[in-house]
Structure 1
Amino acid sequence: MPKTEASRKTVAYRHGSDSLEGILVRDAASAGPVPTVMVCHGAEGRSDVLAEMSERVLPWGYQAFVMDLFGKGVSGTTRQELDALMRPFLEDRDMLADRLSAVVATVAGLPEVDAARIAAIGFCFGGLCMLDMARTGAPVTGVAAFHGMLTPPPGRTPRKIDCKVAVYHGWDDPFARPEDVVALAAELTESGADWQFHAFGQTAHSFMAERANRPELGIAYSARSAERAWSGLRGFLAECLDPTG
């Protein structure tokens, strides 16, 4: 695997009255526009931990844009804070779609980005965001959801999904039950999506997050499943972002 040295650049953007700030993470040796992986945070908000995780895609020939949905400097730690940040978007999925669209437009307009080759991945709440990006036709080549919530916006008729979709799921995740998995498969099939679903046994919610350690709530890191998911993601991104993929 080629050696890379990560560099970071903050990118300010707005949606409505909110000021937001993402991070472009790229190989310091990169020159010119590069295929880009947008990375969406969970209910905690944009974090340096997520920026570090995003460096995983650099040796694969891509760069990452760590998005911010909640606002510059806005984050949460307690369950009450996390719910307060996430709840408005869960209750207004149209607002969520508009915000995601604004982020995609921001990323596509960056001179460092190959606008024809943008994919997106997300974790937990960010996993739901990825599925909603696919559902609303965001101009990306593929989305991948990790231990995300799977339920669609209520009362919405499935539309055609043009981008590729991958889902990485812990079978013991209490926030996405087997019936939700079956319902999502039916929805994606009805939408004509090119989709794949990877479920890992003996694996709970937040299995990609090394600091996750609340097994009594069904939340726990799994090194084995995380590495399997990263390995699967590499192949998926090659399909979405490489010219021959």
Structure 2
Amino acid sequence: MASQQLQYSNGNKNYIGYLAWDEKQQGARPGILVIPDAFGLGEHARERADRLAQAGYVALAADIHGDGFLHADLASAISAIQAMYADRAAWRAMATAAFDALSAQPNVDRARLGAIGFCFGGTTCLELARTGAAVGVIAAFHAGLNAPLAEDAGRIRAKVLINHGAEDPLVKPEAIAEFMAEMRREAIDWQFVHHGNTVHSFTEPTASRLGAPAFAYNKSAEDRSWAAMRQLFDETFEAR
């Protein structure tokens, strides 16, 4: 398997992503954008990109803060993502720049593109899809579920998979209901999987270090959610 840093820009900010692929695979492959949690591009997102590369995809783990910056504590990470929530255009420009950088790779099949994201990254997948980007499928893991903008109606072109901890206290029932209403209203091909006995950040082995009961790793939920994503990708891309 091969990997490298990938520099790209949205015109206002420079980013340093992590690109992974299997150099033994011939021809153009489906491309998957991996959007990390609020802390930024760390080992968690790179390892998921490596997993996807081993499965035959070309994966780009995105830099969400610019210049490869990685927040060291939860408070500063939350402050950074709150700024993006307050400026949806800038938030979407960050995601679009990463998506465009992935689709521009010579070994990527531009007709077979997807995105996955974790926590804030999962929410960002929804923001990307709401721009009308040519993303065929998105899979979000323990994502926040924010409301769309009025002008987003009719834009989503992707199949949508949400993997959610059934005991996640950070995502309110009202947000889940509003998300489901959006999916039904837009006639999206969507799935919402509740993982029992599971809270937020269930794919992150180091989640307990945050010192709050809302964050905890759950290996069975991680394995099952990844399998659900792989099944949907195989269905969508017919990847081998």
Contact 2:17 2:68 in 1 (8 A): no
Q: Which stretch shifts more, 77-86 or 188-197? A: 77-86
Partner residue, 2:105: 110
Is it true that 1:45 corresponds to 2:19 in the alignment? no
**Alignment match, 1:74:** 69
The equivalent residue for 1:165 is 160
After TM superposition, the structure 1 stretch with the greater mean CA deviation from structure 2, 103-112 or 120-129, is: 103-112
- TM-score (ref. length: structure 2): 0.93
**Residues 60 and 234, structure 1, Cα contact 8 Å, conserved in 2:** no
Q: Distance in 2 between matches of 1:54 and 1:183?
A: 30
Aligned twin of 2:238: 242
Cα separation, 2, equivalents of 1:122 and 1:198 = 15
Q: Distance in 2 between matches of 1:156 and 1:196?
A: 23
- Name the structure 2 match of 1:9: 4
Candidates 103, 114, 118, aligned match of 1:119: 114
Residues 124-157 of structure 1 deviation map (CA, whole Å, 9 limit, x = unaligned): 0001001112222111111111100001245556
Q: 2:44, 2:204 within 8 Å by CA — same for their partners in 1? A: no
Contact (CA 8 Å) 1:39, 1:54: kept in 2 or not? Answer: yes
Task: Give the match for residue 174 of structure 1.
Answer: 169
Partner SS state of residue 174, structure 2? helix
1:83-232 superposed matches below 5 A: 83-153=78-148, 158-213=153-208, 214=210, 216-232=212-228
- Could you say what the CA RMSD is over the residues aligned between the two structures, in angstroms? 1.9
Whether 2:24 is the aligned partner of 1:24: answer no
Alignment check: 8 A CA contact 2:233 2:239 kept:
no
Give the drift of 1:72: 1.6
State the match for 1:3 in structure 2.
none
Q: CA deviation at 1:207?
A: 0.2
Shift of 1:110: 1.2
Is 1:64 the counterpart of 2:59 in the alignment?
Answer: yes
Note the C-alpha offset of 1:171. Answer: 1.1
Q: Secondary structure at the match of 1:216?
A: coil
Q: CA deviation at 1:43?
A: 0.6
C-alpha distance in 2, partners of 1:7/1:146? 26
2:121–2:140 CA contact under 8 A, matched in 1: yes
Looking at structure 2, the residues matched to 59 and 7 of structure 1 have their Cα atoms a distance apart, in angstroms, of: 10
* Count, aligned residues: 239
SS at match of 1:192: coil
Query: Separation in 1 of the partners of 2:51 and 2:173?
Result: 30
**Residue 96 of structure 2 aligns to which amino acid in structure 1?**
S
Give the superposition deviation at 1:182: 1.6
Where in structure 1 are there 5+ consecutive unaligned residues?
1-5
Q: Any stretches of 5+ residues in structure 2 without a counterpart? A: none
Contact 1:161 1:192 survives alignment (8 Å): no
TM-score by length of 1: 0.91
**CA distances 1:149-205 after superposition (whole Å, capped 9, x unpaired):** 001245556334221111000011122122221211111111121111101111000
Q: What CA distance in whole angstroms lies between the structure 2 residues aligned with 1:102 and 1:129?
A: 12
Distance 2:21 2:238 in 1: 17
CA contact (8 A) 1:10 1:23 kept: yes
Determine the C-alpha separation between the residues in 1 that align with 2:141 and 2:119.
6
